[in-house]
Amino acid sequence: MKPPAFEYVAVASTEEAVAELAGHGDEARILAGGQSLMPILNMRLAAPGRLVDLNPVSALSYIVERAGGVAIGAMTRQRMAERSELIAAQVPLLAEALPWVGHAAIRNRGTIGGSLAHADPAAELPGVAVCLDARFTVLGGGGERTLGAREFFRGYLATALAPTELLTEVWFPDAPPGSGAAWIEFARRHGDYALVGVAAVVTLKGPTVREARLALIGVDGVPVRAVEAERLLIGAPLSAESMAAAAESVRRTLEPHDDIHATAAYRRHLASVLTVRALARAGERACRP
């Protein structure tokens, strides 16, 4: 399984990358960590005319505090993010999800931006981004723009990125005080794409849920924010009843697909089961001092 022929250019800066994309439009494809793109090329499921290799752009590799959150350069290796104390302290949901991304060798090359731009709806990072309303900075010929996670993910492997744009940074908000986060996924084998995964963040004020965030992967063409379930949780204590109601809302509103790994009915079932488990764990963590 060998890739089809393509032209190749390794760029040294984001400006160069943008120029390449502008010059070659649909034919050009960004090569980041390669852990998603290379299998596609090896299987000849895509045949881009030109690969623009972003790996030499060290300026896109960073993890810094900014504006009440953590800004991560798109070319930051997943492994670096996994080891980041800053992320562990300030974006615990991301820290918890990262070890579930493939295996160590995948994370040594795979990038935060690459996984997000690839937009597999069964992948962990898009789920975290949608849960936390991460903000995406995108650079194109016309300059820079930012968009929210839910705007960014448009469909199965489809994002709001125009062919002449690249993702340069993702910003995740800090976990609010009094919040607890949990990532739970169910996969056939460790390291596989999740059949269903749930990201939950619960912020408590006293016993009452002040804010709830619930996102699911593996259940649709994009990660899904369970907004109705979130509304049901807010303003009341987190209890078995409220979690069950949230889970029932999730089950009712989802429209997953059938495939050889799971039926739609099973995904719906798993989604509701994992929702309860994730909320419970997030709630426990929120209670800890």
Partner 1 sequence: MSPTPALVSVRLRVNGREYTAEVPPRLLLSDFLRYRLGLTGTHVGCEHGVCGARTIQLDGAPVRSCLMLAVQADRAALTTVEGLAPGPDRLHPVQEAFRLEHGLQCGFCTPGILMTVTAFLHEHPSPSEAEIRRELAGHLCRCTGYQNIVRAVRRASLLLAADPGRATAGAGRDPVSSP
Partner 2 sequence: MIGARIPRNEDPRLLRGLGCFVDDVNPAGVLHAACLRSPHAHARLGSIEASRARALPGVQLVVTAADLGELNEPGPLLIPHPTLTHPRTQRPLALDEVRYVGETVAFVVADDRYVAEDAVDLIVVDYEPLPVVTDAERALSAGAPLVHGNVPANRAARFPQRVGDPDHAFRQAAHVLRERLVIERSCGSPIEGRGVVAEHDPRTGVLRVWTSTQAPLPIKNGLARMFGLPEFQVEVIAPDVGGGFGTKIMLFYPEEILVPWATMRLGRPVKWTEDRREHLIAANQERGQIHDVEAAVDGDGRILALRDHFIHDTGAYTPYGIVVPIITATQLPGPYRLRNYEVEFEVAYTNKVAVSPYRGAGRPHGAFVMERVIGLIAHQLGLEPAEVRRRNFIQPDEFPWDVGLTFQDGGPTRYDSGNYPAGLEMALEHAGFATFRARQAEARNQGRYLGVGMGCYVEGTGIGPYEGAHVRVEPSGRVFVATGLTTQGQGHGTTFAQIVAETLACEASAVTVVTGDTRKFNWGAGTYASRALVTSGNAIHAAAQQVRAKALRLASELLEVSPADLELVDGRVRVKGAPGKELTLGALATVANPIRYAYGKEAADAALRLVKPRAGAVLAEGEAPGLEAFGYYAPPHSTFASGCHVAIVEVDPVTGNVTLLRYVVQHDCGTMVNPTVVEGQIQGGVAQGIGGALYEKIVYDEAGQPLTSTYMDFLMPTAMEIPEIEIVHLETPSPLNPLGIKGVGEAGAIPGPAVLAEAIEDALRPLGVRIREMPLSPNRIRELIEQAQ
**204 with 238: CB under 8 angstroms?**
yes
- The verdict on 55 binding partner 1 (CB under 8 A) reads yes
Listed ranges 46-54, 66-74, 151-159, 240-248: which one lies at the site for partner 1 (CB under 8 A): 46-54
Helix (H, G, I), strand (E, B), or coil: what is residue 84? coil
Closest distance between partner 2 and the C-beta of residue 82, in Å?
A: 18
- The verdict on 84 binding partner 1 (CB under 8 A) reads no
Cα distance between residue 130 and residue 201, in whole Å:
12
- The verdict on 12 binding partner 1 (CB under 8 A) reads no
Binding mask 191-210 for partner 2 (x = CB under 8 A): xxx-----------------
Taking the alpha carbons of 209, 213, 214, 220 in that order, is the dihedral positive or negative?
positive
- The verdict on 140 binding partner 1 (CB under 8 A) reads no
Q: Which of 2, 66, 85, 143 binds partner 2 (CB under 8 A)?
A: 2
- The verdict on 10 binding partner 1 (CB under 8 A) reads yes
Q: Which of 28, 51, 161, 212 binds partner 1 (CB under 8 A)?
A: 51
Strands 50-53 and 28-31: parallel
Q: Which is nearer to partner 1, 107 or 267 (CB)?
A: 107
Closest among 101, 51, 39, 98 to 72, alpha carbons compared: 98
| C-beta atoms surrounding 211 within 10 Å | 15
Cα distance between residue 228 and residue 249, in whole Å:
7
Q: Which is nearer to partner 2, 6 or 62 (CB)?
A: 6
Q: Which helix (H) or strand (E) holds 218?
A: none
Q: Which of 9, 106, 147, 273 binds partner 2 (CB under 8 A)?
A: 273
Listed ranges 29-37, 112-120, 131-139, 219-227: which one lies at the site for partner 1 (CB under 8 A): 29-37
Q: Which is nearer to partner 1, 108 or 253 (CB)?
A: 108
- The verdict on 191 binding partner 1 (CB under 8 A) reads yes
Cα distance between residue 181 and residue 167, in whole Å:
26
- The verdict on 158 binding partner 1 (CB under 8 A) reads no
User: In which region does residue 235 sit, left (phi positive, over 0), alpha (psi from -120 to 50) or beta (all else)?
Assistant: left
- The verdict on 5 binding partner 2 (CB under 8 A) reads yes
Listed ranges 86-94, 101-109, 132-140, 161-169: which one lies at the site for partner 1 (CB under 8 A): 101-109
Cα distance between residue 220 and residue 281, in whole Å:
24
Q: Which helix (H) or strand (E) holds 227?
A: helix 227-233
CA atoms within 13 A on the CB side of 240: 0
Q: Which does 288 bind (CB under 5 to 8 A by kind): partner 1, partner 2, none?
A: none
Phi, psi of 159 (to 5 degrees): -125, 180
Taking the alpha carbons of 139, 141, 145, 151 in that order, is the dihedral positive or negative?
negative
Q: Which of 1, 66, 177, 206 binds partner 2 (CB under 8 A)?
A: 1
Catalog residues that contact partner 1 under the rule CB under 8 A.
Answer: 1-8, 10, 31, 34-35, 38-39, 41-43, 49, 51, 53, 55, 58, 79, 102-106, 108-109, 189-191
